[in-house]
Amino acid sequence: MTRNTASLSWSLLRGQLLHWLLSDDYRPEYLAYLLSPRAYPTLMAGRRNQLILTRVRALSLMFAALTLLWIPLDLAALPLRVAGSLSLSRGCASVAFLLLAASTRRESSLPRVYASLAAFYAVPTAFYFVSLLLLREVGADSPLAAVALHAYGIVPVVAMAGLGVFPLTILETSVFAAPIILGEWFTLHLHLGTFLPGGAADALWLLILMAGVALVVAVSQLGFALALVSQSLHDPLTGCYSRASIEELLQLHFQVSVRFGSPLAVAFIDLDAFKSINDEHGHEAGDRVLAAAARSIRAALRAGECIGRWGGEEFVVVFPGKPAAAAMQCLRGMRARGLGRRPGGGPVTGTVGVAERTADACSAWEALVRIADQRMYVGKSAGRDCIVGPD
């Protein structure tokens, strides 16, 4: 039976991965994202971190209440001395959950996510260990006592199943599942016993199987969450960041630039005579030109640099850590390689304005974009198909 369950867990994981790889939402880089979150783009990482912390907060509030609601059963089923001690430990656990729920409202960095998850699992693990110590001498001499004892036995199983609530990578799920399994093994090794039917070996094996199920669910959630986040962040036609997303990235990079005194360059690109393409060849041809131009611009960028569609045929490119001269050198290379072909056979060109935070003394990211936009219009007046940067 247990081998069949393990085989089913693996089949589910393999099936979910295969379905996801073949779906329309799949992107090649997502396969690496399922293993580790270290390479996630800034906005994608932020969205996932916020989702995990939101669920930690909701579950912490729920468990803070449910932990106290079990006290009447303890008082009815167990000796008063044991029930009183358990009630005290439940009160401590409930307070710990409330404090954790309050702490998750802070910044959503990856270390904060890991710390919150670790605390979330430390509370029931500590409570389970204390309850085993208190219940060692209690016998299941009544149906009510048997129910109460059985409920304490499933605490690790419930904790393990809870991993499936969070969109975690394979590595993260394995890391958080390992202490739960080791903790169960440790309590069994100390002969504290288990209140689950079937004995210690079956209890440990059930926990391992539940870890497999949690891994399937967590990774499946992660895959679909990444696809949905990607759809919400990107412009569907060009694959660039949407305007709202590039504005958010600009704000983040501007804050980092101010904090560390590093350069930050922004380019405003407008495709030349684009309206004539729509007028002469139709909007579908214009869409193809836009998508091809976006691919050409992306191909010229390095890791950490990003492009967003500002509107129509306008694009904004962000160069974190680069002064204007380095950004303009990259843009010249892009211009030399070309932005694609017009439906009539001629080259697609663009006029570019460049601004840099320190060189232009910008106090906000909006000013940075505005200056780049103004320089783009200077280039348009000068004859188009050129790059205009700081003097």
8 A C-beta contact, residue 132 and residue 187: yes
Closest CA to 270 of 350, 336, 373: 350
Per-residue pLDDT for 270 more than 90?
yes
Angstrom distance (rounded) from CA 145 to CA 133:
16
CA separation (Å) from 219 to 4, 164, 179? 21, 8, 19
Exposure string for 104-139, b = 16+ CB within 10 A, e = fewer: beeebeeebbeebbebbbebbbebbbbbbebbeebe
Q: What angle do CA 91, 128, 86 make, to 5 degrees?
A: 40
Walk me through the domains of the chain, giving residue ranges and CATH numbers: 2-233 (no CATH), 243-388 (3.30.70.270)
Axis crossing angle, helix 143-153 with helix 155-162, rounded to the nearest 10: 40
pLDDT tens, position by position, 345-357:
889 999 999 999 9
pLDDT digits (tens, 9 = 90+) for 81-128: 888 999 999 999 999 999 999 988 767 789 999 999 999 999 998 888
User: Residue 331: is its pLDDT beyond 90?
Assistant: yes
**Which residue, among 314, 308, 313, 320, has the nearest Cα to 243 in the 3D structure?**
308
CA angle 201, 206, 208 (to 5 degrees): 100
- Find the mean pLDDT for residues 174-198: 73
Q: What percent of the chain has pLDDT over 90?
A: 52
Cβ 317 vs Cβ 306: under 8 Å: yes
Cβ proximity of 354 and 318 under 8 Å: no
Per-residue pLDDT at 373: 96
Mean pLDDT of 194-200: 55
Q: What is the pLDDT of residue 31?
A: 72
